């Protein structure tokens, strides 16, 4: 999820499609992937048209219906700063998350507890296979991710922190 004309998102999807997707298909031929993001480049659309189980949806008005259908959220962002809202969205919607550690910088996730970290294509494939085959792990990651959001990143918790800062000012 995210604008595909923003370098970190573009790089993540280029990496996913060229290095991870072929391995994932080899290991799990019936896997399905949906990429949501405005401004997908033509080469990406052409590439996806070769696969019945790979969809590039472009811009959508509301990502929640797509997130609610997802069984696993893969976030191979390897560059960039700022708030990774897509990570927070996945955690909030209780979707088991597989991500590069860089994608989660600044977010208090714990590998194996609220996320599965992956740093190379084999790690991504292994993590996805693990989540597909282990319902307890998948449910635990989803639950812990949601609890993390409620505990640290909800509007209520962020509002409390802001109120303290405003009072100090």
Is the predicted pLDDT of residue 147 greater than 90, yes or no? yes
Question: At CA 17, angle to CA 41 and CA 86, rounded to 5?
Answer: 75
Average pLDDT, the chain: 95
The answer on pLDDT for 84 being more than 90 is: no
Q: How confident is the model at residue 162 (pLDDT cuts 50, 70, 90)?
A: very high
Is the model's pLDDT at 80 over the cut of 90? no
In this structure, CATH architecture of domain 7-149: 3-Layer(aba) Sandwich (3.40)
Per DSSP, the residues of 87-124 read HHHHHHTT--EEE-GGGGTTS---BTTTBEE--SHHHH
- 166 pLDDT band, cuts 50/70/90, is very high
Q: Per-residue pLDDT tens for 89-99?
A: 999 999 999 99
As a whole number, mean pLDDT of residues 14-37 equals 97
Helix, coil or strand: residue 30 = coil
31: left (phi over 0), alpha (psi -120 to 50) or beta: beta
Contact (Cβ atoms closer than 8 angstroms) between residue 84 and residue 106? yes
* Structural tokens at position 71: 């069984």
Q: pLDDT tens digit string along 29-58?
A: 999 999 999 999 999 999 999 999 999 999
169/167 Cα distance (integer angstroms): 5
Q: What is the pTM of this model?
A: 0.92
């Amino acid at each position: 999820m995210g604008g595909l004309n923003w370098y970190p998102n573009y790089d993540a999807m280029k990496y996913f499609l060229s290095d991870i997707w072929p391995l994932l298909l080899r290991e799990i031929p019936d896997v399905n992937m949906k990429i949501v993001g405005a401004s997908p480049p033509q080469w990406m659309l052409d590439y996806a048209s070769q696969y019945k189980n790979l969809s590039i949806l472009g811009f959508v008005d509301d990502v929640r219906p797509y997130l609610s259908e997802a069984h696993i959220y893969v976030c191979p962002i390897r560059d960039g700063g700022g708030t990774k809202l897509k990570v927070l969205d996945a955690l909030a919607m209780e979707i088991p998350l597989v991500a590069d550690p860089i994608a989660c910088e600044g977010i208090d996730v714990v590998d194996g507890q609220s996320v599965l970290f992956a740093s190379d294509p084999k790690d991504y494939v292994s993590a996805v296979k693990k989540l597909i085959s282990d319902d307890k792990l998948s449910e635990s990651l989803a639950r812990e991710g949601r609890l993390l959001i409620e505990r640290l990143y909800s509007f209520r918790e962020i509002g409390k922190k802001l109120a303290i800062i405003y009072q100090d000012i």
